[in-house]
Structure 1
Amino acid sequence: MEALDLIDRKIVAELMRDATLPVAQIGEKVGLSQTPCWKRIQRLQENGVLTSRVALADPAKLGFGLTIFVGIEAPDHSAEWREVFVRAVNAIPEIMEVYRMAGEMDYLLRIAVADMAAFDTLYKRLTDAVPIKNVTSHFAMERMKFTTAYPVDTRNR
């Protein structure tokens, strides 16, 4: 894929800040008229740079007051185990993110649940579905910074 030019980077940055902005307003911010801006947005979507547009919600106001980061150590590294693990985590919507890691843990999960009882239920469901060598849970006490916007360079290089 070709590198993004300055205008593309600015469009992406604006959309990451607020995807509800009208195309004309984005165009004004990046120095384009509405139609060329819309065409660039379409191209960014077609090329997979923009993958979706979503609304962000306050987890606490939705009843998800507990965030847990869970480290998983796999009992083995076979394709079969990974397939079972992927199916298990995909079947549990409270598991918000899953990363395969390098280092001491094999996988890192971000989980959002209502409370400790809900986490206990989720924990049992996950460990019943797939064998796991070790599970380490870290409970978030306060979310001090959160963003979904990557720090795209919007300066002219």
Structure 2
Amino acid sequence: MSELVKGQFARTRKALSQALEGVSSEVLEIVPEGFNNNIHWQVGHILVVTEHFFFKGQEKIPANYNEIFGPSTKPDDWTGDIPKVETLIEQLNEQLVRIKEIPSEAFYQKLPKRFLGNETYGELAATGAFHEAMHLGQIQSLKRVVEATKVK
């Protein structure tokens, strides 16, 4: 199970990198009508949620990231220094290395208490892989909508 989940994260991160390739900084920041967030937020949100799922209590990202990219946040509320997408991508790459280093047996350990219906770290990891792929789809949709709107 662990190798499947790790492989899913690797595939999704590769697809994320490809989706962001060549996207202008302007496109990254636009929140189109009908959406609450932009591509920049989506990238940060993937990083924050995955970090929380896999490394809670041992996070290697700045504490303020949760206030910027956590659930129920949005770019309209941003203040202060916001990390650039390039920085977030570097951190996603570093995070993937750490995910791949998690021992297989860790995926079978029980969580201290059920979280989002998950009982083991492996189940939570699978939920994380689903979550990440879902936000990749959002990024692809946002990119399409923003680029189509800019052409008109």
Structure 1 length-normalised TM: 0.28
Structure (1/2) with the larger strand percentage: 1
Structure 2 length-normalised TM: 0.29
Structure (1/2) with the larger helix percentage: 2
Greater C-alpha Rg: 1
